[in-house]
Amino acid sequence: MKIALLGKGKTGSKVMESKVHQVIAFDSKNKPTFEKLETFDVIISFLPGEAFKSYIPLLVELKLPVVTGSTGFDWPTNLDKTLKEKNISWIYASNFSLGVAIVKQMLNKLAAAKYFFQTHETSIHEVHHTQKKDAPSGTALSMEEWMNEKCSITSERTGDVIGFHELTFNAGTEKIRLSHEALDRKLFADGAIWAAEYLVKNKQPGLNSFQDILERTL
């Protein structure tokens, strides 16, 4: 598979370690253009969110499958509809970890069961490295969405923490705590490459969530 990698920073550089696929990287000094990208099988983005957003029109024009892990931006409205109309397949994730996909399933279960408790409060604490541009993290916002309710989210930036998330469900008389810690950025690269392989083999028009695709496949 010939992969065009947008962003070869802390996370993208792990995609470049692939021994199975040919990976060519683009960054601020070698910016992606239609002519440079058109011969690839698939695009993977680990660009900062606003940079990725600025390339969305180019990526739609290319019509290639896109896998993106970029966070910290709002998706343009109607993108899913546009992709479906043009038969273009994209997968996005705020977190490409298999462990977080399992956390999503646990939170879906907790969200369905929360009405058994007379009262409850849900909080999320996330910790990342000091260079992370967005706060709260995309994963914390996804966890809030999976709980289907407003959560109190706190963010901490320290050292080179790759990613720590802890959700606390406090029902007053008892507490449920669920935490996930990323130990190596390679896990995000592996998840994104898995998604890229999936899209090259299976057409899936529209803007698909990695967790939904994984749930259908597991």
Nearer to ligand NAP among residue 47 and residue 147 (C-beta):
47
H-helix segments, the chain: 12-15, 34-37, 49-62, 79-85, 98-113, 138-147, 186-201, 210-217
Nearer to ligand NAP among residue 90 and residue 169 (C-beta):
90
Active site residues: 128, 132
Applying CB under 6 A, does 40 fall inside the site for ligand NAP? no
149 token code pair: 């309710």
Nearer to ligand NAP among residue 7 and residue 65 (C-beta):
7
Instruction: Give, to the nearest 10 degrees, the angle between helix 98-113 and helix 210-217.
Output: 90
Q: What are phi and psi of 149, to 5 degrees?
A: -160, 165
Applying CB under 6 A, does 11 fall inside the site for ligand NAP? yes
Nearer to ligand NAP among residue 89 and residue 139 (C-beta):
139
**Residue matched to tokens 């038969």:** 87
Applying CB under 6 A, does 31 fall inside the site for ligand NAP? yes
DSSP track, 87-120: T-EEEE-S---HHHHHHHHHHHHHHHHGGGSSS-
Contact 15, 22 (CB under 8 A): no
- Identify which range of 35-43, 79-87, 89-97, 108-116 contacts ligand NAP by CB under 6 A: 89-97
How many degrees, rounded to 5, is the angle at CA 155 between CA 188 and CA 121?
Answer: 105
Nearer to ligand NAP among residue 136 and residue 169 (C-beta):
136
Per-residue x/- track, 92-121, ligand NAP (CB under 6 A)? -xxxx-------------------------
Give the Å distances, CA to CA, from 5 to 9, 47, 71, 179: 10, 9, 16, 30
Applying CB under 6 A, does 142 fall inside the site for ligand NAP? no
Applying CB under 6 A, does 178 fall inside the site for ligand NAP? no
Among residues 40, 90, 169, 188, the one that binds ligand NAP under rule CB under 6 A: 188
Number of residues that bind ligand NAP (CB under 6 A): 26
Contact 104, 147 (CB under 8 A): no
Residues that bind ligand NAP (CB under 6 A): 7-12, 26-29, 31, 46-49, 51, 69-72, 93-96, 138, 188
